[in-house]
Amino acid sequence: MPQPISLRLAAGLGPRVGAGLGGVALLALLAMPALHLWTPEGSALHVTAYSLTLVGKILCYAVVALALDLVWGYTGLLSLGHGLFFALGGYGMGMYLMRSIGHDGNYQSVLPDFMVFLDWKTLPWFWRGSEHFAWALLLAAAVPGVLALIFGWLAFRSRIKGVYFSIMTQALTYAAMLLFFRNETGFGGNNGFTDFKRILGFGIAAPGTRATLFTLTVLLLVASLLLGRWLVRSRFGRLLTAIRDAESRLMFCGYDPLYFKLAIWVFSAVLCGLAGALYVPQAGIINPGEMAPGNSIEIAIWVAVGGRGTLIGPVLGAVLINAAKSGFTMMFPDYWLFFLGFLFIATTVFLPRGVLGLFRAGREDER
């Protein structure tokens, strides 16, 4: 069947052209902070703080989508709980930001403001050290990683997989959400953390701070893509693909899938935690709503729409869907979820390999 001319043209793009387009996109992203800082507000080239923050948050989502792709697209483990790891990383950074409010000139207290409001007298033990940025960053990576290690060890050792694994991950994030909603847990209850003022002594709303956070997000995404590419092309990555396609045969060959699945599962959780740590100072809030099971399902939709098992596809899916969400919820806020559901069904039926699969299919037809 002849392909549309647009698809043939896209399919004809060689690897060098594709890499060139990726380089142009990366340069455009890196130029955004400079345009925000050095162009006057009335200029056509000026990037507003809102746009810079919005793109930064979307790129944090792209890192999470890439992290899920490593365990679902390459290892065959559909997680419906990656939103939990993302939120835990955000809470780790949020604890530091809340402690920074206490050092503000207008508000002097060892306790975060919500604890003062709830008439707490002492700081909980798990908040100790949270006034240090390095400790908060360690928490943002280590807490999701340790939780993933414990959960993964129990699940993979019991050989739980398929739909049962997906249900368990969703139950885990739902249980955590209910726990964090309680005021007595010491994480702000349903309001969570907000009203941040400073980070490392700099005003969190200052143009330079916004630009720095955006640049760090871009660097994290690029580093995740490069590291992910190296992993999936290594012997370790080939073993992950073998687990996805024929785990029993791999076991007959003398390999124990437990440790390979556990390694990629923990690595994926740490990536989500780092993305959450960068998301919170840009979004200005973190609450238990980030742990809602629906958010984790939405992450899976990003991966499916972009094309799982491709690394760049989930990034593309996260960017496209969240950009559409930003506009669609402004114009038709009551219909966004219907649109998202329709998009997922249409992708499953007509584009089982995602948007990126269109271009790959075109190249295969040309050959």
pLDDT at 86: 98
Residue 189 lies in a domain: yes
Whether 312 maps to a domain, the answer reads: no
Longest pairwise C-alpha distance within the chain: 73
pLDDT for the residue numbered 104: 56
Is 340 within the bounds of a domain?
Answer: no
Residues of the chain with pLDDT under 50: 1-15, 17, 365-367
Q: Which amino acid is at 36?
A: H
Cβ–Cβ < 8 Å for 318, 58 = yes
* Contact assessment for residue 315 and residue 355, using Cβ atoms and an 8 Å cutoff: no
Of 149, 174, 160, which is closest to residue 270 (Cα–Cα)?
Answer: 149
Q: Per the domain annotation, does 324 fall within a domain?
A: no
The tally of domains found in the chain comes to 1
Predicted pLDDT at 8: 42
pLDDT tens-digit readout, 194-215: 999 999 989 999 999 999 999 9
In a domain, 279, yes or no: yes
pLDDT tens digits, residue range 245-297? 999 999 998 899 999 999 999 999 999 999 999 999 999 999 999 999 999 99
Residue 273 pLDDT:
98
Give the range of the structural domain holding residue 258, as residue numbers without chain letter.
53-296
Q: Would 3 be classed as within a structural domain?
A: no
81 vs 172: CA distance, rounded Å: 7
* Contact in structure between 187 and 93 (CB atoms under 8 Å): no
- Asked if residue 11 belongs to a domain, the reply is no
Residue 357 inside a domain? The answer is no
The 3-state secondary structure of 272-316 reads: HHHHHHHHHHHHCEECHHHHCHHHHHHHHHHHHHHCCCCCHHHHH
pLDDT the model gives residue 327: 82
- The pLDDT of residue 40: 82
Q: Is the dihedral of CA 299, 300, 301, 306 positive or negative?
A: positive
pLDDT at position 222, please? 95
